[in-house]
Every structure is written in C-alpha cells, then in structure tokens.
C-alpha cells in the first residue's frame, strides 16, 4: 500500500511514522512534510502545499496512492475528501459538510444547543447585530470567539466588559479576516480540559486514548493561547465514569445528530472538553481532525496497526474492531520558535538531534526544513519531544531529557507539561 499524508506539522510526522510501521505499507509520502519526515526511513516528502487540492489530487492519481490521510483542518474544511472521493480515491477525513463542526463555531454552537449536548451558553453577533449593552449585562469573565478558522488564536478570554467589547469589535474589523465576520460570545466555564478524540464512521465510534493539551504559552497556564505547547496521554481527569458520560452525552449524540442532518461523519472527531466539577463534559469546541500535539503522545501509545483502524472505518467495519494501547503514559513537550505565537523567527539551526535520537522516545518535527545538510527552524512550533515511561513522572523525565539534548536559538518550551497528571499521581 502507498499512503499519502497531507500536512507538514508534528501531527503529520507522527501519523506518517505510525502508518509506516504497518506491515501492509510499502511507502509513505507526506505533502509537504518537514525535515523529520524527509529523514525518516521509508518516508519521503513531495513539495505540494496541504491546501493545494488540485495538486494533491493529481499527485495521488499519478503516484498510485491507495490511501490518503488528511492532517490539518484547512483542506478538510475546503472539501478535499469530497474531491478525492468523487475521483474514486480512498481518503480518510470528514467531507466539507461534516468539517463545518470545526470550520464554523457559529454552526458548532447551534448544533450543540439544538441537540442538547452540554456546552457554554452563548450569543452570536455580526457587526450589524452586535449589542454592546447585552455584553455589559453578562457575568464575567466572557469568552469571545471568531467564527471561522484562526489557528487557535481566535479566542479571547475577557476579564472586563470593555475587553470583551473591544475583542469583538477587533474581530468585526478584520483581525482574523473573514473568520471574524461572525463572533460567538459565551460564558466562561471552569473545570479541567481534556481532548477526546475518536475514529468515527457514520454511527460507529472508536474512542482513542484520552489526552490533555497545554494551550497557553507559559508555565502555570499563563500567557497567550497557542496551538498547543505539549500534551500527554492518558488524561486522568477522564475517569471510566467520565469516559462513559462523554460517549453518552457528547460523542454518540453528535454522530447521531449529524446522521439526522444527512451527514455521514467519517474521520477523526476531536471534542475539546471542559470537565466541570460535577463531571459534566462541556464541549468547548469540535475539531474535525486529530489534535496537534495530542497525536504525538497518543500514537506513541497505540499498539494496533493504524492502517487497519482507518481501513475498518473506510469500509464500515469499525464496530468491534479491537484497538490495543500501551498502558504506559506518554508525554510530549513542544519546542517553539523565537516569537511564537506572534511573529515567528525562522531559519535558526537546530542542534543535538543526533544525540536525542539515541535516547528513549522520539523527537517529532513540526516547523523544520533541511538546508545544505542542516536542519533549520521554519515555523512556530518546531519540535515535539515525546516519550513513554513507566508512570507519568518517568515519561515526563524522558521527554525533558530529549528537550535537554536539542537546542536552537530562541527556543521556548514549558517546563510543567503534565503537571496536572503528576499532581494526581502524587509525584509532581
């Protein structure tokens, strides 16, 4: 089997690495990939952008690709799976209609509330319908969200009414382009976040191992929101009882309600949850893809053949398909470039990758590229140092040993990844 992975981040390096381990796979091509995928045995890159759907379709057809797996949300929202399917190519991911769950927060909020799935109370505004007085009557803090895709940056937690109004007005004025034409303002929910990701085929749901992301830039969950500064799996906040509540109150109602709207959801479905003190699994957002950096620790724990799982979903055999996990936890620490998440500096040489390769675990690449035999930074999130361990503290120590081995100018990383799980385990 020849497999194409679309995307060039850490998630795609991990997907390609895991797919390549399948005895059924002879070649993995990543479009456009990064230095990590370029250096991986049995994996090669092709210089086609992840949102160049025409280019990807032409390549998949001419290169005899048997299975395409889409990493990022951009091409999914733009309908890459519909195009591949219409051309008779097998492609794993939701179609454009299903990807709206991530592509439009207004749509997702309407979907959640209509179907009684727990989520924060909200109101939706455009520049013309915006009601500052309504905002002033709401309890603080307030959460202001641009409707469309904004790479994890379109969310403002406002501590004052003035801040909420200013955030909404900035979005209407175009800080996020068309993504801010509509703005969701919702109540602030407290609790503990968890990422609940499943492989879905229409009505069948195969939940993957749970995980928790660290969205803020700085230790102690301070600083600006990012795409994610680290993740670990499993998330202890998702106890077996909470797991069952998520399935019963979020995942099953979601795929059923999509069916009722004529949408057969096939792909990874990611519910970003805020687990309340009483265990209510509130949905903060849906993503129509695997998480980044959640993919890196989650796939490190997956013992089953990922190709088999994706094929089971593609051929309607997901129900009853077994899925084996390494019981050991995994921790992934993101190393980000100078300036991230604002204006990122690129082109810094990365040192120590060979040293890290001799240690337990794996350094997945994200924003990296090869130039004259050197590996350089080329994006905001650069690497994700990921390791398994006998217990969460051991996994954390191994991940940070990898972090200590690599270096580049301006490198930023959090020193407290997995702190909640460590506190629960009493080993923080």
Residues that bind ligand GLY (CB under 6 A): 152, 213, 228, 287, 291-292, 294
- Cα 204 from Cα 48, distance rounded (Å): 33
Q: Is the dihedral of CA 132, 138, 143, 147 positive or negative?
A: negative
Min CB(87)–ligand AMP separation in Å: 32
Tell me the residue nearest to ligand AMP as measured from the CB.
Answer: 285
How many residues are there in the chain? 428
Of residues 115 through 134, those in contact with ligand AMP by CB under 6 A are 120
Min CB(101)–ligand GLY separation in Å: 13
Min CB(420)–ligand GLY separation in Å: 15
Q: How many CB atoms lie within 10 A of CB 320?
A: 8
Interface stretch with ligand AMP, choices 183-191, 299-307, 319-327, 369-377 (CB under 6 A):
183-191
Q: Which of ligand GLY, ligand AMP, none does 8 bind, CB closer than 5 to 8 A by kind?
A: none
CA distances from 2 to 20, 41, 81, 333 (A): 10, 14, 17, 31
Q: Which of ligand GLY, ligand AMP, none does 186 bind, CB closer than 5 to 8 A by kind?
A: ligand AMP
- Cα 67 from Cα 94, distance rounded (Å): 14
Per-residue contact string for residues 399-428; x = within reach of ligand AMP by CB under 6 A = ------------------------------
189 binds ligand AMP (CB under 6 A): yes
Min CB(285)–ligand AMP separation in Å: 4
Min CB(197)–ligand GLY separation in Å: 9
Phi, psi of 413, rounded to the nearest 5 degrees = -155, 155
CA distances from 406 to 5, 35, 354 (A): 26, 15, 9
**C-beta closer to ligand AMP: residue 215 or 398:** 215
Total residues at interface with ligand AMP (CB under 6 A) = 14
Q: Work out whether strand 43-45 and strand 27-32 pair parallel, antiparallel, or are unpaired.
A: parallel
272 binds ligand AMP (CB under 6 A): yes
Q: Which of ligand GLY, ligand AMP, none does 287 bind, CB closer than 5 to 8 A by kind?
A: ligand GLY
DSSP state, 195? E
Min CB(361)–ligand AMP separation in Å: 26
Cis-peptide into 307, omega within 30 deg: no
User: Which residue is associated with the tokens 């969205």?
Assistant: 215
Q: Which of ligand AMP, ligand GLY, none does 188 bind, CB closer than 5 to 8 A by kind?
A: ligand AMP
215 binds ligand AMP (CB under 6 A): yes
13 binds ligand AMP (CB under 6 A): no
Q: Which of 12, 82, 102, 186 is close enough to bind ligand AMP by CB under 6 A?
A: 186
* 355 membership: H or E segment, kind and range: helix 353-357
Min CB(414)–ligand AMP separation in Å: 15
Q: State the number of CA atoms in the 13 A half-sphere of 307 facing the CB.
A: 21
User: Which residue is associated with the tokens 């179609």?
Assistant: 95
**Strand, helix or coil for residue 260:** helix
Structural contact between residues 184 and 298, judged by C-beta atoms closer than 8 angstroms: no
Alpha-carbon radius of gyration of the chain: 21
- The encoded tokens of residue 225 equal 């929101």
Q: Which of ligand AMP, ligand GLY, none does 301 bind, CB closer than 5 to 8 A by kind?
A: none
Q: Which residues contact 126 (CB under 8 A, 6 or more apart)?
A: 172, 181, 182, 183
Cis-peptide into 200, omega within 30 deg: no
Min CB(228)–ligand GLY separation in Å: 3
Phi, psi of 225, rounded to the nearest 5 degrees = -70, 145
Q: Which of ligand GLY, ligand AMP, none does 189 bind, CB closer than 5 to 8 A by kind?
A: ligand AMP
Q: Which of 19, 91, 98, 143 is close enough to bind ligand AMP by CB under 6 A?
A: 143
193 binds ligand AMP (CB under 6 A): yes
Min CB(294)–ligand AMP separation in Å: 12
Min CB(193)–ligand AMP separation in Å: 6
Residues of this chain that bind ligand AMP (CB under 6 A)? 120, 143, 145, 152, 155, 186, 188-189, 193, 215, 225, 272, 284-285
């Amino acid at each position: 089997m020849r497999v194409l992975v679309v995307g060039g981040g850490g998630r795609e390096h991990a997907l390609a690495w895991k797919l390549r381990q399948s005895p059924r796979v002879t070649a993995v091509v990543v479009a456009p990939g990064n230095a990590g995928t370029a250096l991986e045995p049995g994996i090669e890159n092709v210089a086609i952008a992840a949102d160049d759907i025409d280019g990807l379709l032409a390549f998949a057809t001419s290169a005899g690709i048997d299975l395409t797996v889409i990493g990022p949300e951009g091409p999914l929202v733009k309908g890459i799976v519909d195009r591949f399917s219409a051309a008779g190519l097998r492609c794993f991911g939701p179609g454009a209609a299903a990807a709206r769950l991530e592509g439009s927060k207004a749509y997702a909020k309407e979907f959640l509330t209509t179907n009684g799935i727990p989520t924060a109370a909200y109101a939706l505004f455009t520049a013309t319908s915006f009601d500052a007085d309504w905002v002033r009557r709401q309890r603080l803090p307030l959460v202001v969200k641009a409707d469309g895709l904004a790479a994890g940056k379109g969310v403002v937690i406002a501590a004052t009414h003035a801040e909420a109004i200013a955030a909404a007005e900035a979005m209407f004025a175009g800080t996020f382009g068309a993504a801010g034409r509509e703005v969701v303002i919702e109540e602030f929910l407290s609790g503990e976040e968890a990422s609940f990701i499943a492989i879905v085929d229409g009505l069948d749901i195969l939940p993957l191992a749970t995980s928790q992301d660290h969205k803020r830039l700085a230790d102690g969950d301070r600083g600006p929101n990012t795409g994610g500064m680290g993740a670990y799996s499993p998330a202890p906040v998702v106890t077996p009882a909470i797991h069952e509540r998520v399935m019963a109150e979020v995942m099953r109602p979601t795929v059923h309600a999509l069916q009722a709207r004529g949408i057969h959801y096939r792909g990874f479905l990611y519910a970003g949850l805020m687990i309340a003190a009483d265990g209510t699994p509130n949905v903060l957002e849906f993503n129509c893809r695997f998480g980044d950096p959640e993919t890196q620790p989650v796939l490190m724990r997956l013992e089953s053949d990922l190709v088999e799982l994706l094929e089971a979903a593609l051929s309607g055999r997901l129900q009853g398909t077994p899925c084996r996990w390494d019981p050991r936890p995994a921790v992934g620490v993101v190393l980000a470039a100078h300036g991230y998440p604002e204006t990122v500096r690129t082109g810094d040489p990365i040192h120590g990758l060979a040293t890290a390769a001799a240690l337990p675990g794996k350094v997945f690449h994200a924003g990296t590229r090869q130039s004259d035999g050197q590996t350089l930074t080329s994006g905001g999130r650069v690497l994700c140092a990921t390791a398994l361990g006998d217990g969460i503290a051991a996994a954390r120590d191994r991940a940070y040993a990898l972090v200590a081995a690599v270096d580049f100018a301006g490198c930023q990383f959090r020193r407290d990844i997995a702190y909640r799980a460590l506190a629960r385990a009493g080993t923080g």
